[in-house]
Structure 1
């Protein structure tokens, strides 16, 4: 059940390495010392690669957040905006970690879909350098130009806290994603710059007003790398039907987020969540987007995922569940990696 290989829309490996001893972390990643993702688990699970997020954690501790997200309702306060001089150092450190992994032969930073396909053919993990929250990008885009040359090909203007470009959604349940103002003037410029460079714009974490601003401005398909359906889980992080249909009409796509709080109808971060909850969201996304516009966006190493998956070594359980649910092989292949390659082809050219 390791076939087809899975190309995934989001992981937080670089944050995990940044928060630990980087040299030990790199060794652990290449052995079996990782949490959700390392090379040994990748081989077991048939993990072909995905989007490796650069994320600036800030000073806020998330220790108590998980306890709050066990409650029937919650509204976690957003941490303050992180200034560029702090964020840029963290971003460069995490980009450096990804480059070191490439240098050591653990993966390849891919800039084209041909490179991704070549990696998957030859058993080398394919990595797209992604930025989750653009705190490290200055308004003159000097940092963006440098990171683009290093391989950055996907960018979300925000994590949940605000940036100089946009406003994110809080971790709030129940809540719609309509939580604040849209893009700033610099945010409008950022979207156009990403379009010009061929950097995919990620709408996950962006609030609804910002989503519609991007939909109006962008010339590329609308993509949410790790988001789910609001109608099934009324969480601010999830996408309404109106948003899903706009993504469909742009020929974009959505990557299913494995984080249980965005899967469950009660919005609670409970690991004992069945894989069937993932299939319910996949069914809904396919119904509203079409089978060519849905993929996987796990949030591995950054979220609590269903116990039946646990780590990327558990991905065969997801494939088996898809088959038992009635998905045929061509559809499973689309969901596992073909749809990501399709939308990246449209975005990067």
Structure 2
């Protein structure tokens, strides 16, 4: 197996939603969702970004969302902004779950803040985790909480999920659609970018509008990164990246992690998992052409999306590796895509 370092997952949301079952979810596996410690070991999951995500309070939004994405075209309304007073307790809970995962794993999982730690984990067969925020709702406009979360281990943040924040605007879930769907960063968002640069926190551009993307490109001195996004030229979803954006990411020395979410992979925009490898490989080929082999990785969106039936969950991720191998990708390229490019990018961003 080639170890896979992954750009995005939502396991912490599962733990947050069922804290009384977290030992079963994490340590023994309950045969639900996409991730748990036994299946990570079985699938060669070397580590990844573990997202702190504040769920929308609209209980009926998820049902409408899922149903609409089965029948393109669609354009879903976004929930309202959540302020930091409401978001901080949830974010703190999820950060606590991540640290509990480390303590409960008996040495099998470690939260890392340097590339040296990531590489040491890879060598020793320990699964590594990076604390990430998908949407900066828990960071107030004064940015004070950013420094607190940094001290807790935060090393990656997206200014927005699709829902707006005080920092900027995200794209709605829409197909077909351009990512140019609204405004970009606010002045507070620009201040957040500069603060992250000083702290060497990676900035994630998945979910942000195209205007927001170019605002970050203008105001950031770090490589541009989209942890879980695909090619708009292949699947014209608002969540995917245009060739112009891909060129800017390559020029900056940045990265894109291939998102396994079916609605961002399938050329028909549907959410169904009933698909073969064709569309996945078309995305990979296009991203390689536009980014170059040093700037492409994997960003599954495990536990946050519908995944192709060929992968199903983390235990099946080597099926994707084999599909790439059968498609003609050599072992040197596969090692870059599966983990080496993420380590290079984080070294360039974190400086350690």
- Indicate the TM-score class for this superposition, using the shorter chain for normalisation: over 0.9
Distance 1:93 1:142 in 2: 18
How far 1:273 moved relative to its partner?
1.7
The answer as to whether partners of 1:154 and 1:200 remain within 8 angstroms in 2 is: yes
2:27 equivalent in structure 1: 30
Matched positions, count: 346
Deviation at 1:72, TM superposition (A): 2.4
Q: Which residue of 2 aligns with 1:143?
A: 145
1:6 corresponds to which residue?
4
User: 1:139: Cα distance to partner?
Assistant: 1.5
Unaligned runs of 5+ residues in structure 1 are: none
Aligned residue for 1:340?
342
What is residue 70 of structure 2 aligned with on the other side? 70
- TM-score normalised by L of structure 2: 0.97
Is residue 2:331 matched to residue 1:326?
no
Q: CA deviation at 1:172?
A: 0.6
CA–CA distance in structure 2, aligned partners of residues 248 and 137 of structure 1? 29
Give unpaired runs (5+ residues) of structure 2: none
User: Do the aligned residues in 1 keep the contact of 2:229 with 2:258 (CA within 8 Å)?
Assistant: yes
> How far apart, CA to CA, are the structure 2 residues paired with 1:82 and 1:209?
21
Once the 2 structures are TM-superposed, how far is the Cα of residue 40 of structure 1 from its aligned partner?
Answer: 1.1
Contact 1:133 1:163 in 2 (8 A): yes
Q: Secondary structure at the match of 1:181?
A: coil
CA distance in 2, matches of 1:91, 1:270: 31
Q: Take 1:259 and 1:214, find their aligned partners in 2: how far apart are those partners?
A: 25
State the shift of 1:124 in Å: 1.3
Shift of 1:26: 3.2
CA distance in structure 1 between the aligned counterparts of 2:42 and 2:103, rounded to whole angstroms: 23
TM superposition shift of 1:294: 0.1
C-alpha distance after superposition, 1:182-228 (max 9, x if no partner): 11000000000000001000000000000000001100000000000
Report if the CA contact (8 A) 2:15-2:25 is conserved.
Answer: no
Preserved CA contact (<8 Å) 1:6 1:337: yes
Question: How far is 1:285 from its partner?
Answer: 0.4
Aligned counterparts of 1:278 and 1:118: Cα–Cα separation in 2: 31
Query: Which residue number corresponds to residue 94 of structure 1?
Result: 94
> 1:12 deviation in Å?
0.1
The corresponding residue for 1:275 is 277
Q: What is the deviation of 1:270?
A: 0.8
User: Match for residue 260 of structure 1?
Assistant: 262
Cα distance, 1:89 vs. partner? 0.6
Cα deviation, residue 276, structure 1: 2.7
Q: Residue 82 in 1 paired to residue 82 in 2? A: yes
Residue correspondence of structure 1 range 139-178 to structure 2 within 5 A: 139-178=141-180
CA distance in 2, matches of 1:254, 1:211: 13
TM-score, normalized by length of structure 1?
Answer: 0.98
- The CA distance in 2 between the partners of 1:53 and 1:72, in whole Å, is 28
1:109 counterpart residue number: 111
RMSD, aligned CA? 0.9
The structure 1 segments of at least 4 consecutive aligned residues displaced by more than 4 Å after TM superposition are none
Matches of 1:135 and 1:269, distance apart in 2? 27
Contact 1:17 1:26 in 2 (8 A): no
Give the distance between the partners of 2:68 and 2:299, measured in 1 at CA.
Answer: 24
* 2:48 alignment counterpart: 50
Contact 1:173 1:234 in 2 (8 A): yes
